[in-house]
Structure 1
């Protein structure tokens, strides 16, 4: 009898396993029925099954917001983030001829226990290109490491400290984050980047466009889709006014070489330049050039905490924006691009604000991001401007425009 029961039991187990393999809905989808999250915190949902196509639909009602069964994504994964507290209903569907699946979820969004800061709270990486303010903004001290310099930069910028940090020449960058997700509100400006750009008071060309000291930095954003709290997910460029112009080079690459600080300086006709061949660079277009050393800044221009003999940067390169309006090298005007770049317009201007809506992928296709967790800024112009030195983006802070101070 025991043998008969054993055979029947095994047959039943095999039958159940067979049914489950034929019907994925009976196996865990990898999605819960209920989630509880704080507002302005991203929640990435990753279903365990694939299909021919996907659909996520969201419903929500409150005194200020009403959303009824709105399709929010058609990708396999979906990142949910909300700025309003309340209960959200999410419907996920896998459209598949063999195994269609529908899963309903409830997401309870509650208010954060500790008020969020609208400002940078973390600097993840700081890697400037050589430049006249490098090792000064912030100041390098012998023995400093990449980590200690990162901490110095964080001290300069976090919680609205507003102490200027340089990114050096083309490609130099900084990666920052917040204690929350900056929510994308379609059609609205989402964050502001503070720099030190200003307009010229006295341009010899009376009909000239806006300009003065504009050192445009390209801005990229990322979503913490894997939820590990570090910026190792895909980056998206915010496509500013120059992104689609033929003068903007995509996939540009430049390499700077550590100079010999003891070499004989090469002087030129400009008395403000002490070494015209100070930091050499080459790019992937076959060009070579130098960042000259100036009389105003005599410290090393190559980041002293970086041990490598060369540094390489990659990204989009904007067209040169500086013009010697005097004709004799005495008066350079660095003209502003229309919109979409850091340190490009004065901080008081709306044009120092940014929309997450501008994000594009590596192929230039617009992407719909629910919000961003990380922001990367890098110098976008490779130009040396006489006694003014190289074009170098400076950063003084980043502010989430959706959170009151």
Structure 2
């Protein structure tokens, strides 16, 4: 863990590039107030449900409004992500999921420094924060999702390892026509990141999504208290990304999907 934190210090060491209080004052935002910059979920059973969204901008506004009320925003299946900032550089923050006993759907956290000071997460590679399953994780994993041709249908996917599968349509629980995000106009899109081994098992007819030791959002790990997972860094960062890190189905319960319910500065 110390090695990764040292890497973070090296990546974020040029403090002069980080946003300052003058930028915060110009934006009219209060210190500690989070802002959603991007929301690109993978397909999933909660996507498009209760949403009247047709553009990426509307999706961002919808996600920010829900999280401001500590309501969940689903990231869908593997690779779905959300990006937030606080309007200034932060070293310590917490992210809230909605995990509970038997329901852990881990999201990996990535950070970035605003090297060009333009307020956008476009400064190169994301830095993945330390987590317990790094030794068994697959890096640079990619999944491509394909728009269904008919409503009430599963979403098919392929990955860069030669596998294929689908996000199941679970009509018993979520009846919206499509689980493929309606504001994504392309007929397919690819998401990439780090893949964790699934800890979901079926026991006596019930699915148990077991917890991972530490380092994840929406997971009852040793670093999670009342669904908040804390992250304390040695150097400040500007942008925070949470991404679903498992590609797995739980039978009739559907896909494993990270949910985010809050961001706060510590």
What's the TM-score bracket when you normalise by the shorter of the two chains? Answer: 0.7 to 0.9
- Other structure's SS at 1:232 match: coil
Q: CA deviation at 1:157?
A: 2.2
Residues in 1 aligned to 2:232 and 2:123: alpha-carbon distance in whole angstroms = 20
Residues in 2 aligned to 1:125 and 1:115: alpha-carbon distance in whole angstroms = 18
Residues in 2 aligned to 1:337 and 1:287: alpha-carbon distance in whole angstroms = 25
2:230 to 336, 339, 353: 353
Q: Detail structure 1 runs of 4+ shifted over 6 Å in the superposition.
A: 112-115
TM-score calculated relative to the size of structure 2: 0.85
Residues in 1 aligned to 2:17 and 2:116: alpha-carbon distance in whole angstroms = 14
The answer to whether the 8 Å contact 2:99/2:105 transfers is yes
Q: Kindly report which structure 2 residues correspond to 1:131-210, keeping only aligned pairs within 5 A, or say none.
A: 131-136=44-49, 139-141=50-52, 144-158=54-68, 161-183=69-91, 190-199=92-101
1:126 to 31, 39, 45: 39
TM-score calculated relative to the size of structure 1: 0.57
Tell me the equivalent position of 2:5.
none
2:219 to 324, 344, 353: 344
Q: Which runs of 5+ in 1 are unaligned?
A: 1-72, 83-108, 184-189, 200-211, 266-274, 358-369
State the aligned residue count: 247
Q: Kindly report which structure 2 residues correspond to 1:290-301, keeping only aligned pairs within 5 A, or say none.
A: 290-294=166-170, 295-299=172-176, 300-301=178-179
- Other structure's SS at 1:259 match: coil
Kindly name which structure, 1 or 2, has the bigger radius of gyration based on alpha carbons.
1
Residues in 1 aligned to 2:29 and 2:59: alpha-carbon distance in whole angstroms = 28
The answer to whether the 8 Å contact 2:96/2:228 transfers is no
The answer to whether the 8 Å contact 1:194/1:343 transfers is yes
Higher relative contact order at CA 8 Å, sep ≥6: structure 1 or structure 2?
2
Q: CA deviation at 1:236?
A: 0.5
Alpha carbons of structure 1 residues 353 and 165: separation in structure 2 relative to 1, 3 Å: same
Report Cα offsets for 1:228-270 as digits up to 9, x if no partner. 1111113110020111x1x3101100001111225xx8xxxxx
Report Cα offsets for 1:297-335 as digits up to 9, x if no partner. 111111011111111001110001101011xxx311101
Q: CA deviation at 1:400?
A: 0.9
1:396 to 236, 261, 264: 261
The answer to whether the 8 Å contact 1:124/1:176 transfers is yes
Q: Which runs of 5+ in 2 are unaligned?
A: 1-8
